[in-house]
Chain A
Amino acid sequence: MGNYIGKSIKRVEDKRFLTGKGNYTDDIILPNQTYAYLVRSPYAHANIVKLDTSAAEKAEGVVKIFTGKEIAAEEIAGVPCGWQVDFKNGDTMKEPPHPLLVVDKVKHLGDAVAVVIAESKSAAKDAAELVDVEYDVLEAVVDPKLAAQAGAPQVHPDCPNNMCFDWELGNTKAEVDEAMASAHHITKLEFINQRVIPNAMEPRSAIGDYQEATDKYTLYTSSQNPHLIRLLMCAFVLGLPEHKVRVVSPDVGGGFGSKIFHYTEEALVIWCSKKIGRPVKWTSERSEAFLTDAHGRDHVSDAEMGFNEQGEIVGLRIKTFANLGAYLSTFAPAVPTYLHGTLMQGLYTTPKINIDVTATFTNTTAVDAYRGAGRPEATYLLERLLDLAALEMNVDPAELRFKNFIPPFDGVEQEGYVTQVALQYDSGNYAGVLERALEMVGYDDFRAKQAAQSNGKILGIGFSTYVEACGIAPSAVVGALGARAGLYESAQVRVQPTGKVSVYTGAHSHGQGHETTFAQVVADRMGIPLEDVDIVHGDSDSVAFGMGTYGSRSLAVGGSAIVKSIDKVLEKGAKIAAHMLEANPDDLDFAEGKWTVKGTNKSVAFGDVSLTAYVPHNYPEGLEPGMDFSSFYDPANFTYPFGAHIAIVEIDKETGKVQLKRFIAVDDVGNVINPMIVDGQIHGGLAQGIGQALFEGAIYDDTGQLINGSYMDYCMPRADDLPNFEVDRTVTPCPHNPLGVKGAGEAGCIGSTPAVVNAVIDALWKAGHKVKDVQMPLTPERVWTAMQTKHA
């Protein structure tokens, strides 16, 4: 083993992207294809008084127009939710229907009311303009906390106080109250973790193609998990025979969570294609993406952390209101609960923790998992509280963390750490990452420089140390927590007669580089050249089953499934090799692609064995021909990457503009297969986390209008907004999967946001402005305003 694993192999998928030969959904034009355009509500909350399509139907190029009535007439339920969280009293959460097209009342800006299908994109768009919709506008509610108050506008008729569920985890409130009563110091803050919009660069797209002659349905969709889309669409939305449905997610231009979910448009194009007997394509425009891609974050929390005289954390109390938007997206209920509440232990020995969550519906776009999903929100609360506590108690923020870290444990010699909030961490060495980060930043020098700064700029340093739960997830555990699906992964390793290997994985790559990383694992384990391995993903006709890519799970879960299949291949290969070498399988060694009889130079190569498997003329008795194995891997636990991030900012006193001067990230994601790709994942995560801190945030006005729904108004981080990142890692292997890997996709996004905000608060305090909080994004105006008040 060892030609490829651990090396920065250049990506095998790059060539097609570099030469413009990628194949994204909107690049596909099927014969006889039509184009769909959706008529969407310009109001956040309104009754539909009149919907007249007669003028539009007569427009040039129009093939057909459907409204919600036609769909409702077939009793199509709408898209389902994949995760159930129960109320504290045991009642099932409220699950209002999410129809493909609205019939009576629109509930958020962009809710679709009709679909126009035409011969061209422009004809569909022109005709959509002629659809006459009259609305009776209702009062809207957009804030998750206000939504729960008496008298708030009701989004759904059967969800009193707009409640979807309430939920609690950890120690009892009484236990935490007692711990807090004994505290020497309590740091307390109301946090708004603002709504952000994922903004994958490829807008969502879907093509439905029903072929009557074969009774087969094909859905091309820009999804992170085609098999799950197929399952949900067939079983819960349209009632289609799953074996007659193929779902293809070809090249997908980024996801960050927003392409996990089953969207109404996917079922709609399939349904329409069957109705009109032609393929139907829908591609989102960016303005539409702003209104209809599931958003992220949007929590309002009250958080309190208590410390004893020695600076040790004695208790933590959190109350969170989570905005779910107007409808329940596929995994929405899991985000503020099992991906958020369970993280409140952080890397600390906090003895008593209670988190209470109220999740509400509002007249806004649905909120679901966005890079990190719940863990960034949890990390934001913990790490902001810690740095603020350090300022308030006048102790060093790094020292405060060292004092509270859980001691190192490897999950083998030392048991995993059992938290107060339902998890058992697998392995960790938390002091190690912070020590390395402090070394990189030159901490003592920085503090000296900060004290001496006097050029109209003020300097600040912010810390964030995090642990997260990814490698999602053990099926039985998540099943007990409300998941309505298993979260294993499947892999098929098919050795071709000539010894070339095709690997079919249920994971889906939309930027992560699976075609390279997975091939490195396969090539090393089989002792064959990387070029002899082909990784196939994203097509339900070739890949038997899969749960897709999200929650930094592809390598930890999908990679482990591949390893299981490789083990089966090698076990069978040994039997064939033993027969060919006239030896006992137990007497063989497998290395560098050949089986050798121990202590001899008698060997047979992998290619000869695979050929023999398919041409079994001289073959072990009773052994089946062929060399093709499938496996399912269900992880034993989540994996728990951790890290330490440090931000250094410089603030212009005149303008309040924050310049991010340095960003140091030391992450421990377990073993690393391809360091180049892992670093790339960290960089991207950092940019998104920093984006939330400094630039991004969806702004709804009181009527539910998204007033920054375009790139002219929503501030995406640009090349000149960000510094070069200084990244490094430590390696603490995952003890419970065969590769020892943890997951790197979300780490950067989880750790970085609070580091940046902490740095700004630090700068302000050091300059005499003792503000506890500045609301993200930290725009110049907000930071300047904070500097206008002298605080004691």
Chain B
Amino acid sequence: MELKGREIFEATPSQIWSILMDIPTLARITPGVSRLEEIGDNEFDAIADVKIGPVRASFKGKLNLTDLIESKQFNLNVKQNSKIGNVDAKVGLRLSPTSATHTELSFDGKANFSGTLASKGARVLSGVVSSLSKQFFKELAIEIENRDFPEVIAESDNSNHRKHTNMSHEININLNGKDVSVSVEARDLLADVLRDKLRLTGTHIGCDTSSCGACTILMDGMAVKSCTLLAVQADGSSLTTVEGLAKDGELHPIQTGFKEEHGLQCGFCTPGMMLTAIDLLKRNSNPDEHQIREALEGNFCRCTGYHNIVKAVQHAASLM
């Protein structure tokens, strides 16, 4: 990915240089950086917490500065690793005066990403990079203003360091008509709690991006992807899973529809598919083919080509 940006500041190149070369300050104004420690000549150990899309990742690794020309330019080489992938970047920073009082800071470089970052993050990365650089420029501008008070520099704030939050919470839900309380970790996803703690394994997990819909359940009557909700968010709500559809041994009309029209093959997507269809039929009791296909576009099926699923929903509509 190309990295490029520029901004004009009300300061001289040497004033800006002094800020950039002041490690504690740099650490403080660079978004996400929680540690920046000099380990050698122009070589640093760094930790940064960065939010990429919905994911917050902790990056760890080395930075080094080369080709330093005081008050003019330096090259920044970044090698950072994280659980979601690695970044390898080379950026040149240049300071050039635009007037006696103003200086342009520009940067130009290239970043290579690997791992999940490359596979999933690619679409959001350019947005992240641009917002990070904007934030940095903003902080730098504030810092320049504040330089009138040179004593205001202190320890970097470590409060945004990741903490383990595996404290347990008691949640109360009405699950398929029965009141249930269950103790969960704050980070537990509802889908995992349903499957592993409450042992309702009809709710399936088919992806990790909230795309496939296999985990769809009804929450207070609305179809939701239970992999996208924390279990604590379900506290106080009424949930229906596939296990709650048949009553007294009688199949729900949607189940009958899927059986009669051969709307399922391997059965993995079926629970989520049916619960999404119930949500549709509640809003529209007689949907046409196009409306059914649109309503089901958040649920993947790899077996049926959707042909018989559409018929199954129409069949159910005729029964309901």
Report the stretch among B40-48, B69-77, B137-145, B299-307 that lies at the interface: B299-307
Bound complex: CA of A543 vs CA of B267, how far in Å? 23
Interface residues of B (CB under 8 A from A): 83, 85-86, 112-116, 118-120, 122-123, 185, 187, 192, 195-196, 199-209, 211-212, 214, 241-243, 245-246, 251, 255, 258-260, 262, 264-271, 274, 289-290, 292-294, 296-310
Is A684 interfacial (CB 8 A cutoff)? yes
In the complex, chain A residues whose CB is within 8 Å of the CB of B259: 10-11, 14-15, 18
Interface residues of A (CB under 8 A from B): 8, 10-11, 13-24, 26-27, 29, 42-43, 109, 121-122, 128-129, 199-203, 251-254, 256, 285-287, 290-291, 510-513, 676-677, 679-680, 683-688, 701, 703, 705-713, 716-720, 722, 724-725, 748
Bound complex: CA of A759 vs CA of B83, how far in Å? 45
Q: Known contacts A708-B119, A711-B212; decide if A718 and B297 are in contact (CB<8 Å).
A: yes
Q: How far is the CB of B312 from chain A (nearest CB, A)?
A: 10
Contact (Cβ within 8 A) B300 A711 = yes
Contact (Cβ within 8 A) A712 B123 = yes
In the complex, chain A residues whose CB is within 8 Å of the CB of B83: 128-129
Tell which of A11, A42, A199, A203 has the most Cβ of chain B within 10 Å: A42
Contact (Cβ within 8 A) B201 A20 = yes
Listed A/B pairs (8) with beta-carbon separation below 8 Å: A10-B262, A20-B201, A199-B300, A201-B204, A510-B266, A684-B305, A710-B208, A716-B211
Q: How far is the CB of A66 from chain B (nearest CB, A)?
A: 19
Contact (Cβ within 8 A) A720 B294 = yes
Contact (Cβ within 8 A) B206 A687 = no
Bound complex: CA of A27 vs CA of B214, how far in Å? 14
Bound complex: CA of A686 vs CA of B308, how far in Å? 13
In the complex, chain B residues whose CB is within 8 Å of the CB of A11: 259, 262
Partner of A687, one of B208, B255, B298, B305: B305
Tell which of B119, B196, B297, B308 has the most Cβ of chain A within 10 Å: B119
In the complex, chain A residues whose CB is within 8 Å of the CB of B242: 18-20
Per DSSP, are chain A's interface residues mostly helix, strand or loop, or mixed?
Answer: loop
Per DSSP, are chain B's interface residues mostly helix, strand or loop, or mixed?
Answer: loop
Partner of B202, one of A20, A200, A684: A20
In the complex, chain B residues whose CB is within 8 Å of the CB of A712: 120, 123, 209, 211
Bound complex: CA of A376 vs CA of B224, how far in Å? 37
Q: Known contacts A705-B118, A711-B300, A719-B309; decide if A512 and B265 are in contact (CB<8 Å).
A: yes
Partner of B120, one of A16, A26, A713: A713
In the complex, chain B residues whose CB is within 8 Å of the CB of A200: 266, 268, 302
Partner of B201, one of A27, A703, A724, A748: A27
Q: How many A-B residue pairs have CB under 8 A?
A: 226
Bound complex: CA of A122 vs CA of B241, how far in Å? 24
Contact (Cβ within 8 A) A709 B120 = yes
Q: A13-B267, A706-B119 are in contact. List 5 more A-B contacts (CB 8 A).
A: A14-B259, A22-B267, A27-B195, A711-B211, A719-B299
Bound complex: CA of A16 vs CA of B208, how far in Å? 25
Q: Known contacts A19-B242, A287-B208; decide if A725 and B119 are in contact (CB<8 Å).
A: no
Residue of chain B at shortest CB distance from A255: B266
Bound complex: CA of A683 vs CA of B306, how far in Å? 8
Contact (Cβ within 8 A) B212 A202 = no
Q: Known contacts A19-B243, A707-B118, A724-B310; decide if A203 and B206 are in contact (CB<8 Å).
A: yes
Bound complex: CA of A283 vs CA of B98, how far in Å? 58
Contact (Cβ within 8 A) B118 A684 = no
Bound complex: CA of A336 vs CA of B211, how far in Å? 33
Contact (Cβ within 8 A) B208 A286 = yes
Tell which of B113, B187, B270, B294 has the most Cβ of chain A within 10 Å: B270
Contact (Cβ within 8 A) B119 A683 = no
Contact (Cβ within 8 A) B306 A722 = yes
In the complex, chain B residues whose CB is within 8 Å of the CB of A722: 293, 305-307
Contact (Cβ within 8 A) A683 B308 = yes
Residue of chain B at shortest CB distance from A110: B115
Bound complex: CA of A709 vs CA of B203, how far in Å? 24
Contact (Cβ within 8 A) B262 A707 = no
Residue of chain A at shortest CB distance from B116: A287
Tell which of B112, B201, B265, B308 has the most Cβ of chain A within 10 Å: B265
Residue of chain B at shortest CB distance from A256: B302
Q: How far is the CB of B211 from chain A (nearest CB, A)?
A: 3
Bound complex: CA of A306 vs CA of B116, how far in Å? 47
Q: How far is the CB of B25 from chain A (nearest CB, A)?
A: 30
Residue of chain B at shortest CB distance from A130: B83
In the complex, chain B residues whose CB is within 8 Å of the CB of A121: 192, 196
Q: Known contacts A18-B251, A20-B241; decide if A707 and B299 are in contact (CB<8 Å).
A: no
Q: How far is the CB of B277 from chain A (nearest CB, A)?
A: 11
Bound complex: CA of A128 vs CA of B266, how far in Å? 32
Contact (Cβ within 8 A) B118 A701 = yes
Contact (Cβ within 8 A) A254 B265 = yes
Contact (Cβ within 8 A) A684 B304 = yes
Residue of chain B at shortest CB distance from A17: B267
In the complex, chain B residues whose CB is within 8 Å of the CB of A724: 289, 307, 310
Q: How far is the CB of B256 from chain A (nearest CB, A)?
A: 9
Bound complex: CA of A128 vs CA of B84, how far in Å? 12
